[in-house]
Chains A and B, each alone.
Chain A
Amino acid sequence: MSVKRYLGTFFRGRRLYIPVLLLLLAATVVGTYYLARTQYEATARIWVEKPALDNVLDPNAPSGFVVSPGQQQSDKLVQLLQTDSFVVSILTNTTASGRLTSVAERDRVIKEVRGKLAVTPFGSNTVKITYTGSDPAFCQQVVQGTIDQFRAWDLTARVEQSAIESQFYQKQLQIYQDQVDAAATRVDDFQRDHPFPDPSSPQYLELTGLQRELESARALLSATRTKIEQANAANALSDTSRQVEFQVLDAPTVPDRPAATLTRLLEYLALGLIASFGLIILAVVFATWQDTTIRNGDDLQRLTSVPLLDEIPHLKPDSIGGGERHDPVGARRSPKKTGSQFEEPASVYPSSTIE
């Protein structure tokens, strides 16, 4: 179908389409105004650093740090927010805590919070946490709760990790200590049996081997002791280092004004405009598709090879024979002009009763 046909459908139904379009646009404006007026936003920005002794504690970590600390912490927080327990822990200290009693209501609140809470890395070391809602105090509480819970989780995770590492190295230390003791005993026993072996004798070679085993065991023991000292040092540093590694740059405050930024308003308006026009276009396309009638000479020519003799405009029944044509455009024109352009008799054969 040609563009003209679609346009024809639109203009033919303009008394329907244009009011609907205007209604949709008005609804968009009202909706945008309502959303902008009733939506509040609490935001916090957190500075995160890579843990100070991460490389020491984890020698297998890749040397080239591909993911930025901001991205890393943001990913962690996003993952945590996907767990119900974490979201519930955030909501425990908010005004929504009373809504967590029933399972259905709890799920609804969790879903709502997830939908409105945004965590985005902002640069390499900053994480931005934003909550948008209709209650300004609740917005602030959610963001603050998120920071608190995330910090607590991070601390717990690190402490637990340090403790596990410490236990692991302590066990390793015991094993290596036993190995050193065993190797030393073997060397002592051998030297007791062979006090001064000749360097060219096989006993001397065996003693040398035993001494090497002892040195190797001592080296492993020493390395393990070093790791334990580093883990302890990390634990000792935790309070101060974590303050540096996790700083709240902008603490969330209770918003006192709706979050009606120009960009957001324009976004809403643009979406509304696109949706409104899209709906009308779809309606016009559907109406055109449904219209199987002949509309013009082109339609007839496409349909049949029978010649088109003429196209007769819309006429009032009583205009046959020279009466006034029933045409809104023509009706607005000056009768004087009509007479001067068409020098036809006013009436030839008036009939108001033909079909």
Chain B
Amino acid sequence: MPPQLPFRKTATAPEATSVSTFRNLYTRVLLGLQAQQHRVIGLTSAIDGEGKTTIASGLAAALAEDGALLGFGREPDTILLVECNMGSLPENPRLGIRPGPGLVQVLRGECELDAAIQTTGVERLSVLTLGEPAHNFPLAIRTATLPEVIAQLRSEFGLVVMDLPAVLNSSDTQVLARLADQIVLVVRAGVTPAKLVRQAVDELVDQLGEEMLLGVVLNDSRSDLPPWLDNRL
């Protein structure tokens, strides 16, 4: 009897590391963005707690990790993760994020953009944190400075990943999402009610247009069925 490979799904294989997990996602995202030279992608969700920061971080890290592959002979792309969601990316020694100025300070003119961008432990991945005080963020993003900052980031990085607030929880999303080229909606399996997902999609389509919504990512997806049954259904 010839040896057979064990059944596994690419995205849900238990052995999958995050890079391989997110490779499929970023490939599809990049296919949607390939027509543009500079790319800004925003990740949002219907409500808080759906894992948009997890997805944004994973996507950015995977893109940075595979940057050489994306370069196609050019200089590998650099990736920037912009934290636009209050309280989502706190300090982490392993990540190497240090307390310091962030987007709020840049928008308020208290700090230079380059000084606010932090390199991380991952090659080619930088992070622009939210900064402090976070409660000034809603006011800060509603100034003319924000589009200029994003335009500058576009020119400096191969891809900018914006971790946006939830669509149905904050009107900040409407302001920030317009600066992105494409929006990805994160839905957490088993958590987000279908009604809220539909509401979020409708809102994004109404405000940004259907072409802006690149697609949906189902986070925390797992089959509740045992493999022997799942394979048969």
Contacts and interface: CB of A to CB of B under 8 A. Distances in A.
Contacts of B25: 309-310, 312
Contacts of B28: 309-310
Contacts of A292: 193-195
Interface stretch (B109-117, B118-126, B143-151): B118-126
B146 to A, nearest CB: 23
A79 interface: no
Interface string B1-21: 000000000011111111111
Interface stretch (A2-10, A201-209, A233-241): A2-10
B24 A310 contact: yes
B187 A300 contact: yes
A309 B64 contact: no
Interface in A318-341: 318-323, 325, 327, 329-331, 333, 337-338, 341
Contacts of B16: 313, 325, 342
Given A310-B25, A310-B28, A315-B21, A349 B224 contact: no
B17 A342 contact: yes
Contacts of A307: 214-216
A341 B20 CA distance: 11
A348 B54 contact: no
Given A304-B216, A310-B28, A317-B54, A349 B125 contact: yes
Interface in B1-50: 11-22, 24-25, 28-29, 48-49
Interface stretch (B68-76, B84-92, B171-179): B84-92
Given A292-B195, A345-B65, A309 B29 contact: yes
Interface string B43-61: 0000011011111011001
Given A299-B194, A314-B221, A348-B64, A354 B53 contact: yes
A11 interface: yes
A312 B55 contact: yes
A313 B11 contact: yes
B129 to A, nearest CB: 12
Nearest to A9: B224
B208 interface: no
A322 B22 CA distance: 10
A3 B95 CA distance: 43
Question: Which of A4, A307, A309, A344 has most B Cβ within 10 Å?
Answer: A309
Interface residues of B, number: 71
B95 A349 contact: yes
Contacts of B89: 351, 353-354
A295 interface: yes
B184 interface: yes
B18 A319 contact: yes
A297 B190 CA distance: 11
Contact of A321 (B19, B218, B223): B19
Contacts of A300: 187, 197, 216, 218
Interface string B180-215: 000011011111111101100100000000000111
B94 interface: yes
Residue among A292, A306, A318, A321 facing the most chain B CB atoms (10 A cut-off)? A321
Interface stretch (B98-106, B130-138, B225-233): B225-233
Nearest to B97: A351
A293 B218 CA distance: 12
Contacts, number: 212
A304 B185 CA distance: 12
A98 interface: no
Nearest to B25: A310
Contacts of B58: 312, 315, 320-321
A294 B57 CA distance: 23
Contacts of B122: 321, 348-349
B142 interface: no
B51 A7 contact: no
A325 to B, nearest CB: 6
Contacts of B227: 329
Given A11-B224, A306-B185, A312-B220, A329 B14 contact: yes
B223 A322 contact: no
A337 B25 CA distance: 24
Candidate in A7, A8, A294 with the most chain B CB atoms within 10 angstroms: A294
A308 interface: yes
B215 A296 contact: no
Given A308-B218, A353-B90, A7 B14 contact: no
Interface of A: 3-4, 7-9, 11-12, 292-297, 299-300, 303-304, 306-315, 317-323, 325, 327, 329-331, 333, 337-338, 341-342, 344-346, 348-355
Interface of B: 11-22, 24-25, 28-29, 48-49, 51-55, 57-58, 61-62, 64-65, 88-92, 94-95, 120-122, 125, 184-185, 187-195, 197-198, 201, 213-227, 229, 233
Given A312-B22, A321-B65, A351-B94, 12 more contacts: A294-B194, A303-B194, A308-B217, A309-B28, A311-B217, A312-B219, A325-B21, A331-B14, A342-B16, A344-B19, A344-B20, A350-B121
11 contacts: A7-B225, A304-B201, A306-B216, A307-B215, A310-B28, A312-B25, A317-B54, A321-B57, A322-B17, A352-B94, A354-B57
